[in-house]
Structure 1
Amino acid sequence: MLVFGFVIFPTLTIAFLVFAKPREPVRFNRQRREVCVPKEKGGDYWYVPWETVKASVEGFNMVSQAGVNKNGSLIIGFPNPDFNGEVKLGGNGFSTNENAERHLWFPNVVPEVGASMWEVIRTYMEEGPEHVKVDTEDFTVQKEGILEAYIKGVKKSIAKRGWFKAFLWDGIFGLILCNTLLVDYIYRKHLNPPPDLKGEKVQQWSKSLPKEQWARRSPELEQAIQEREAELARQSAA
């Protein structure tokens, strides 16, 4: 079990990440108020109205000798706009039929983190990217090569920590134990820059629209938002 857990499983995971094709991303288009969801098979996409997307944050506690450990998950559901069959919901409120609904699942996040992740998406779609408070430095596409970026990072580490600590941290621990170059390769292949969506239709869908053509909130959502804001204002004044 130890050999499988610490040798075989990590090796298979790394091999999969190195050789597997990058998965196409889910793309949120705030101008159209739609979400493009790649199908598992067939190379096509669902164009899901934003206001039909649903999210659920679940949490639970695990008790051990070390104390109480909080855990949970974030699930985002994207109903198929073209599905005409009967939708049966599971115990968590999401459909169990993959033809009726696709899911994004983020496991092992405490409820506060899961809610914050969803709030970033919601704020982007409803209020705009200028209202999203996230550090975008880690998502900047690196122009230099992997080895060049590593050398640049070592030089920064030397200037910050000195030769000896930089050798231990970036040389022994980073390069030899953690294989920084391989990690950077996998990161660039799957996440930065994110894989693009394929096909003329989806590329046209992804293009920016003149502001006068942007989709608007439905009257029902507008009313619900106003009622919620009024409720929050009353709570703040109390």
Structure 2
Amino acid sequence: MVVTVLGSYYTYSLLKAIYIISKLAPVRFNRQRREVAYMVKRGDTPRIVPWEDVIACVSTSTTITEYGTQNSFALKIGLHAGLEDRLLWLQVPSPTLESAVSEWEAIRVYMEEGPTALPVPFMAGMPEEGTVAYFHACRRNYRERHSYIRYVCGFLLIQFCSGWTLPNHIAEWVERLPRTGFPKAVREWSKPLPPEQWAKPSAELLEESKVVRRSFRKGVDLFQYFKERRTEPPR
């Protein structure tokens, strides 16, 4: 019975993951051209928008139940979808507001300052979460920190009933599945450019960046800065 339930669950999860991956709109950020390429769906004509026209915001929602409330957050990236002034919204779920803002900040820093400006990952050198190597790293860590009886009952038994490393193998296989690819035109667009041909940020962006950095030096964080900007009278 347990094997049947687990098999049905993993089959459903696998098929769902394959379906989602096949439908995901691929997005590519090109910091040398300061542009973003994307496709709405498989087979669609790729669209390229200026980096400085990309819109970023964080959506929040609150779920109320008989047990309390639960907040959820998501980074939303808006890309112009044609001449009709429509937007394609990409959504990245996040556990907290700060995490959602950090997701965007990582993209922004990469585009504005390059990959060397990104912070070193907090758990650098650790296996990627969800992989078989990560599973065994967690298993060894649990064994080192607990008694043998607790290790058997609190880890081995639970993980055995959950499929042991089968979910990790499925996750690794799904990760290797081919995504919706870009056509040749976008692959050509993605090729490196000589430094002298790199696009430059606009004067407005440079000025805004100076103002933000001055605010940071005064001890104002990003949330306070934009809160103050919203209360300023229009110029």
Residue in 2 aligned with 1:16? 16
TM superposition shift of 1:106: 2.5
TM superposition shift of 1:169: 6.9
Query: Normalising to structure 2: TM-score of the pair?
Result: 0.67
CA contact (8 A) 1:24 1:197 kept: no
Residue in 2 aligned with 1:200? 184
Structure 1, residues 16-40: CA drift from partner, whole Å, max 9, x if none?
2256654453111111111111222
Query: Normalising to structure 1: TM-score of the pair?
Result: 0.67
Q: Residues 166 and 33 from structure 1, CA distance in 2 versus in 1: closer, same or farther, beyond 3 angstroms?
A: farther
Q: Residues 20 and 79 from structure 1, CA distance in 2 versus in 1: closer, same or farther, beyond 3 angstroms?
A: closer
Residue in 2 aligned with 1:189? 174
Q: Residues 153 and 40 from structure 1, CA distance in 2 versus in 1: closer, same or farther, beyond 3 angstroms?
A: closer
How do 1:65-214 residues align onto structure 2 when only pairs under 5 Å count? 66-80=67-81, 83-85=82-84, 87=85, 100-107=86-93, 109-133=95-119, 134-135=121-122, 154=136, 157-158=139-140, 161=143, 172-174=157-159, 176-178=161-163, 180-190=165-175, 195=179, 197-214=181-198
Structure 1, residues 149-183: CA drift from partner, whole Å, max 9, x if none?
56x96488458727877766775433541453344
Q: Give the aligned CA root-mean-square deviation in angstroms.
A: 3.9
Q: Distance in 2 between matches of 1:24 and 1:118?
A: 18
Structure 1: unaligned runs, 5 residues or longer: 1-5, 88-99, 141-145
Question: Which amino acid in the other structure matches residue 214 of structure 1?
Answer: W
Q: Residues 233 and 14 from structure 1, CA distance in 2 versus in 1: closer, same or farther, beyond 3 angstroms?
A: same
Residue in 2 aligned with 1:229? 213
Question: Which amino acid in the other structure matches residue 180 of structure 1?
Answer: T
Q: Distance in 2 between matches of 1:204 and 1:139?
A: 33
Q: Percent identity?
A: 27
CA contact (8 A) 1:24 1:195 kept: no
Helix, strand or coil at the partner of 1:58: strand
Residue in 1 aligned with 2:232? none
Question: Which amino acid in the other structure matches residue 204 of structure 1?
Answer: E
Q: Distance in 1 between matches of 2:137 and 2:93?
A: 36
TM superposition shift of 1:55: 0.9
Q: Distance in 2 between matches of 1:29 and 1:10?
A: 37
Matching residue within 198, 201, 219 for 2:203: 219
TM superposition shift of 1:104: 0.6
Q: Distance in 2 between matches of 1:37 and 1:214?
A: 20
CA contact (8 A) 1:18 1:186 kept: no
Equivalent residue pairs, number: 209
CA contact (8 A) 2:78 2:87 kept: yes
Structure 2: unaligned runs, 5 residues or longer: 1-5, 221-235
